[in-house]
Structure 1
């Protein structure tokens, strides 16, 4: 049984999808703790499922590195097999990435390497592409540069607003994240091998 710590920053829709999936007895993973970088609305999902949570707020630390050290300490307390950044909107400091990667994954609302960074949906619309999508990838020390685990395309419709497109992407993102976690748990995806390529 794969144990997960999930990190969030907002409403936690990806977290909720994972909690729903892991509530099924046949699903090969369990969420053991949820972490956040603020008093995120999504922490309510952890409470609803009686999952322990922790919050490590960057502004309360002298440096990004000090924040990272405390975040890492909180994560390691749960000895997770996998750490999932599910809408976690902070770039992790190198010391955190080095300690956890490649068992550290993220979802991104684009088909990487296209449109990395925090504004992927807006950037895709600005570029006028007719297809974007979702990537689940290993986090490395770059920004959205880690090995790709799985991707799925999402069409861009004429006249799409950023919100409309993002909502369609989020639906796919939830499905893809759950599938990726299952594949990692069932060892049909080998993160060590991916990272070594």
Structure 2
């Protein structure tokens, strides 16, 4: 059984490309049914079109409120009968109504080792704090910003000479590895959101999620 996935983007779509490439793997039940962007100039739309995936542009500036935009977004997503909705650089804070509508089938990726550095400028903050390790996290989305149950984290060492740019580049490479992994787990029925948090193969994941060290 294919697992219908709708991906939301706002920008270049490099994580989207990793998901497109992964969905082409033999035996992967994840099928990207549509890509939706709130920006018409998002390069990720071109990536989707190149792969023959339906695209939708829904400009948030055309709506009077966040609630009105999210209601229209729900309609656009549900037209593709999604089993899973994936946020891949979607630069919008979502309303509680939206998050509740997709509870247990909404994933996000964040460029830090959550719960550290929720929000923006994560690489700069990790360097300023003198952290020995940094990375990225895939989590189920809840109403708490960047606060849902963790699924998988990639952990990498911070090098002595790292800049924001070099650190961001290495974290991006890990994002492209762990996001397709989490989506495939969900598509295969292995990953679920339970009452106690994220579950993999019927077992609760630790609070930190599944850790992958590089």
TM range (shorter): over 0.9
The structure with the largest strand share of the pair is: 2
The aligned residue for residue 133 of structure 1 is: 135
Question: Is the contact between residue 113 and residue 137 of structure 2 (CA under 8 Å) also seen in structure 1?
Answer: yes
* Cα offsets for 1:90-132 (capped at 9, x unmatched): 1111111110122000001111000111222221112110101
Q: CA deviation at 1:64?
A: 0.8
Distance (Å, rounded) in 1 between the aligned partners of 2:69 and 2:34: 18
Q: CA deviation at 1:85?
A: 0.3
The aligned residue for residue 28 of structure 2 is: 27
**SS, match of residue 43 in structure 2:** coil
**Structure 2 unaligned blocks of 5 or more:** 205-214
Distance (Å, rounded) in 2 between the aligned partners of 1:64 and 1:95: 11
The aligned residue for residue 84 of structure 2 is: 82
Distance (Å, rounded) in 2 between the aligned partners of 1:173 and 1:160: 18
Q: TM-score, normalised by structure 1?
A: 0.95
Q: CA deviation at 1:25?
A: 3.5
The structure with the largest helix share of the pair is: 1
Question: Is the contact between residue 102 and residue 195 of structure 1 (CA under 8 Å) also seen in structure 2?
Answer: no
RMSD (CA atoms): 1.5
Distance (Å, rounded) in 1 between the aligned partners of 2:163 and 2:10: 23
- Say which of 164, 182, 185 aligns to 2:187: 185
* Cα offsets for 1:34-87 (capped at 9, x unmatched): 011102111111110110111112111101111111111101111100000011
**Pairwise mapping of residues 152-167 of structure 1 onto structure 2 (< 5 A)?**
152-167=154-169
**SS, match of residue 170 in structure 2:** helix
Q: TM-score, normalised by structure 2?
A: 0.88
**Structure 1 unaligned blocks of 5 or more:** none
Distance (Å, rounded) in 1 between the aligned partners of 2:69 and 2:125: 30
Q: CA deviation at 1:21?
A: 1.0
The aligned residue for residue 61 of structure 1 is: 63
Question: Is the contact between residue 5 and residue 83 of structure 2 (CA under 8 Å) also seen in structure 1?
Answer: yes
The aligned residue for residue 7 of structure 2 is: 6
The aligned residue for residue 207 of structure 2 is: none
